[in-house]
Amino acid sequence: MPSSKTPNLAIVGATGAVGQELLLILGQRTFGHGTLRLLASARSAGSTAGDHPIEVLTDRSLAGVDLAFFCAAAEVSRQFAPAAVDHGTVVIDHSSAFRMEPDIPLVVPEINGDVLDNFDATTGGIIANPNCSAIIALLAVTPLHRAVGVKRIVISTYQAASGAGAAVMRELQQQVHDHAAGKPYTQNVLGRPYLFNLFSHDSPIGSDGYNQEERKIIRETHKIWHDDSVQITATCVRVPVLRAHCEAINLTFNNPLSERDARVLLSEAPGVKLVDDRDANKFPEPIDATGLDEVLVGRIRADTSQRPGLGLDLFVAGDQLRKGAALNAVQIAERLVAANPVTVAQHGSGNK
- In whole angstroms, what is the distance from residue 103 CA to residue 93 CA? 14
* Pairing status of strand 231-238 against strand 199-200: antiparallel
Cα–Cα distance, 186 to 164 (Å, whole number):
16
Name the catalytic one among 71, 87, 94, 132. 132
Rounded CA separation 57/44 (Å)? 10
Helix (H) or strand (E) holding 296: strand 295-302
Residue 249 β-bridge partners: 155, 314
Measured in residues, the chain has a length of 352
> With contact defined as beta carbons under 8 Å apart, do 54 and 47 qualify?
yes
Do 283 and 277 contact (CB within 8 A), yes or no? yes
Alpha helices (H) in the chain, listed in sequence order: 17-28, 74-86, 109-112, 132-148, 166-181, 212-225, 259-267, 286-289, 327-339
Task: Write the single-letter amino acid at 40.
Answer: A
Question: Any bridge partners for residue 231, and if so which?
Answer: 152
Exposure on the CB side of residue 257, measured as CA atoms within 13 A:
27
Listed as own residue / partner, the contacts of 279-283 with beta carbons closer than 8 Å and 24 or more positions apart are 283/315
Confirm if 175 and 284 have CB atoms less than 8 A apart: no
- Give the phi and the psi of residue 206 in degrees, each rounded to 5: -85, 180
- Cβ contact 300:262 at 8 Å: yes
Point out the catalytic residue in the list 201, 245, 246, 347: 245
Q: Please, are residues 241 and 198 in contact by the beta-carbon 8 Å criterion?
A: no
95, amino acid identity: S
SS3 158: strand
Residue 245 annotated as catalytic: yes
How far apart (Å, rounded) are the C-alpha atoms in residues 244 and 317? 7
Give, as one character, the DSSP assignment of residue 322. I
Q: Which residues are known to be catalytic?
A: 132, 245
